[in-house]
Structure 1
Amino acid sequence: MVGLGGACFEAAPEDVGDFFAIRPEHRADVPKTQFKSRPGKTLSSRKWESAFSQDGHLDMAKVLRRIQRGGIHPSIKGVVWEFLLGCYDPNSTFDERNQLRQRRREQYEIWKSECKNMEPTIGSGRIITTPIIIEDGITVEVPSTSYLNNEDLGTPTPDISPRHCSRAKSIAFDSADKKVHQWKATLHQIGLDVVRTDRSLVFYLDEANLARLWDVLCIYAWIDNDISYCQGMNDLCSPMLILQENEADAFWCFEHFMRRMRGNFKTSASSIGVQSQLSTLAEIIKVVDPKLHQHLETLDGGEYLFAFRTLMVLFRRELSFVDAMYLWELMWAMEYNPNLFSQYEDQSAATDKSAAPKGNDKCLKQLGKFERKNVESGSLDQQAAFSVFLMAGVLEAKNKRLLKEAEALDDVVKILNDITGTLDAKKACGEALKVHKKYLSKTKKA
């Protein structure tokens, strides 16, 4: 089947909503979904197809306008996300994208074979949840790599916090196979996280889907020498797997997503990557709302660690699965800039914002609202991602309550927890743009 956007992919079920169905026993625990497809606002299949020229060039400006107004219809989320994440250049043709997709699928199979040779459980429909033991540099067989059972899905999901997000500890031994052993040391943690991932969704009742998620994360951990795997990546990867019928395509969506997110997971002896965003958040609030910032500092919240989990996994825990996807695509559309993506297979994807177009109206139309303002103002701060302004917007929306009711840091957390299940993604993005405009205005005057 020739898919939307000209790429070949397997036919998806008629009712894509089936993928997002909630298990009956979890319906009371899951935040109510607020997203609804709105004719005339939501990017529909018809509008998506009409945005392509005869040979496959995509009018990205037209697509961005529609997404920013009302998100993407569930039936085409997967293929549109590939463009939003920079998997494909909108200026490429149908044939060029089909060839690139095929090359990527072949590369994924090569990596998967490498991993399978090192650990036969990869690709077997099973996962590892028991630590692999290393004795004198020799890998000992895993005591149990049994097929998944439904009892695993009832395991409580741990909080993501600084102490949980450190990279898997390296195992000390003298061996030329250090990378292999370090990779194997992460596999059981990936397995434990996988069986906790989106366990309320009917999709993951199929154990084969859990195994596919495990495979994708294990293979990513193998090819990313700096980050490997960190708790929270499972939450970012899950929607890719659900939206993409082909496992390799899901992997490449996740890989491109991680190009912009991997800084959050970089760790050192003294800090975790997302802390740089927390510092930026603190600076933004200090500029746009110095009274609130001072109040938070008084409560010993000046480091803004209460926003750690939210920024780490982009509001996944605060929203329903469907609303989280809606928020992500709004964010990606708002901050879209083709100059930030590699057009080919170069994994060192271009990230130099100084190359962004300036003064060219046609080029500026290819940018999202947020990124356009950055370019027009000359703001090139890599850390000031849209998600940081989104969090700043949430704090501003809770300004009065925080100033009046928060007498301790626990109160701040409690007040912010109220957004769970109630956050309106479209409205939140609008508030983020207002904070961004105010921040640019005040910093420019300074």
Structure 2
Amino acid sequence: MNNTVSGCDGRDQRIKEKEKDSVVKHNVTGEGTGDKFHRVSASTLIPANIPLGLPGVMDAEGRVDESRLRAYIVKNGGVSPSERGQVWRFLFGMFPCSSTALERPLLHGQLAVRYQVMKRKWQQLLPACVRLRLNGTDAELVAAVKYYEQRKKAAQELCQEQSEELRERLSFLELQAQVVFERVTFDLEELQEAIRIIDKDVPRTDRDLAYYLGEGSGNLLVLREILITYAAFHPEVSYAQGMNDLCSRFLEVLDSEVDTYWSFSCYMEKFSRDFRADGLHRKIELEAELLKELDPQLHTHLVTDNMDRLTFCHRWLLLGFQREFEHSDALRLFEILSCDHLELISQQVERAHYRERLACKLSLDDRPLSEPQAINAEFTFELFICAAILLLHRDVLLRCRNEVQLIQFTSSLQGTLDLNSILNKAEEHFYNYCKRSAWDHLNTGCRTHKSKEDQFIHQLRNLFS
């Protein structure tokens, strides 16, 4: 089968720099037409040579200090909406933090062409799946297809205006991409099943968001093609329910089909297990372990047979509390959770432990030292967020007597939680968890004086300030 992709196919091959006042743009005037419509341009990219407005994060050549970026996001509770799109391209690995401002436009061109070749390959093998099948009962979805077709036509007209030099460069990149993906084969039955589920889930994406309203409903079709392309080239993961909501978040923030695909793919490299039964089961187990540490009574109440453990928290943990907070706060929380918040702090806590152990060893030369109680590295910050929500509503949960009441409780929380309050509570619970570990070690291992305990706890408290 001929997989050659024309150098003029699709808007994703048009590479240009475009400054954006806001990451999420709506009602963009369509170039080449007189209409206004929501347009997701795969090459819409905040210029790579514009420095991040985050102190000390980007150097003069455009390289990003990843540890400082993550620390900034955590300390400041996220970034501003105007910088979120640029930050996410680094945070989620689409652009290496070590790349320079000169290198990134070239890298972006390669990613755009590779994505187009990948998408074209499954479309050639399954031409009947290229278009979303409509039953005519969803007027908004019918309109979405119309808007999407308008956008494709406008993009094709733009493609005809490309210079000969650009056409040649794109053709070379396409040839390289074809070589990379030439030997990729698909299990067509499994892919068709994934597409069937995607076609059910995409229309269920939160269409109350401005990004998917009116003419922006065409973005649903963009989301569909990203998810199908991902499922086609990641058969070990394929597609699972909930991925549409997760990917939708990337598409809204990045406003780019290509950038969304690659950022979503990078994210899934780390978290794809969460969409498998074993991964989700392990996460629920960890939440139960953490709750037992923080509140044994509530833990005992929620893990009885009638309560079926903590499975009612499933959606929270799978989608990063997407619907429990107001939408803009949910985006902030998602980027905070993606910073490996506890990993950063735990490293500092471990260094503090080491310094205290060393001090104990010097003062107690001949006394054997016991190892301190280890901080469970599997207790990620999202688990502390979940625990903070449970403990905040402790009285209500203790009155719940069955799983139906728990589900009613979780439904009542949607869009009602205050993010800053929950973040503070989650950090407080983690601080207390670390403090207990430190006290256990100091009181049973070193037998130091009270002043030593106060000194260590003061040091620990400073990590959370």
TM-score (norm 2): 0.65
1:95 aligned residue: 102
SS of the equivalent of 1:333 reads coil
Q: Counterparts in 2 of 1:45-444, with a 5 A limit?
A: 47-48=53-54, 51-68=57-74, 69-120=76-127, 126-128=131-133, 149-150=139-140, 179-204=187-212, 205=214, 206-267=216-277, 272-298=278-304, 300-301=306-307, 303-335=309-341, 367=344, 369=345, 372-373=348-349, 383-403=378-398, 405-442=399-436
Query: Do 1:52 and 1:58's aligned partners in 2 also have CA atoms closer than 8 Å?
Result: yes
Amino acid in structure 2 at the alignment position of 1:408: N
The CA distance in 2 between the partners of 1:371 and 1:424, in whole Å, is 28
Q: CA deviation at 1:386?
A: 1.9
Mapped contact 1:288–1:439 kept (Cα < 8 A) = yes
- One-letter amino acid of the counterpart of residue 200, structure 1: D
Structure 1: gaps of 5 or more residues: 1-7, 21-43, 130-143, 155-176, 338-366
Q: How far off its partner does 1:244 sit?
A: 2.1
Distance in 1, matches of 2:409 and 2:51, equals 39
Which secondary structure does the structure 2 equivalent of 1:94 belong to? coil
Alignment partner, residue 362 of structure 1: none
Q: Is the CA contact 1:51–1:59 (under 8 Å) kept in the aligned structure 2?
A: yes
- Deviation digits for residues 229-285 of structure 1 (CA, Å, limit 9, x no counterpart): 011000000021122233111101111121222111124xxxx42111000000111
2:283 partner SS: helix
Once the two structures are superposed, residues 198-256 of structure 1 have per-residue CA deviations (whole angstroms, 9 ceiling, x without a partner) of 21123223343111100000001111122200110000000211222331111011111
Identity of aligned residues (%): 26
Q: Secondary structure at the match of 1:195?
A: helix
The DSSP-based 3-state class of the residue aligned with 2:285 is helix
Classify 1:178/1:320 alpha carbon distance in 2 versus 1 (closer, same or farther; 3 Å).
same
**How far did residue 327 of structure 1 move?**
1.1
The Cα offsets for residues 54-93 of structure 1, whole Å up to 9 and x where unpaired, read as 1112234543344232422212211101222233332332
CA spacing shift, 1:223–1:443, aligned 2, 3 Å: farther
SS of equivalent residue, structure 2 residue 96: coil
Q: Give the aligned residue type for 1:305.
A: T
Relative distance call for 1:414 and 1:246 in structure 2 (3 A) is closer
Distance 2:189 2:350 in 1: 44
- Is the Cα contact below 8 Å between 1:193 and 1:234 reproduced in 2? yes
- Cα distance in 1 for partners of 2:407, 2:350 equals 31
- Distance in 1 of aligned mates of 2:352 and 2:111: 35
Larger radius of gyration: 2
> Gapped runs of 5+ residues in structure 2?
1-14, 28-49, 145-184, 354-372, 442-465
Corresponding residue number in structure 2 for 1:34: none
- The separation in 2 between residues aligned to 1:103 and 1:373, in whole angstroms, is 41
Judged with a 3 Å threshold, the aligned counterparts in structure 2 of structure 1 residues 46 and 263 are, in CA distance, closer, same or farther, namely closer
1:148 and 1:207 in contact (8 A); partners too: no
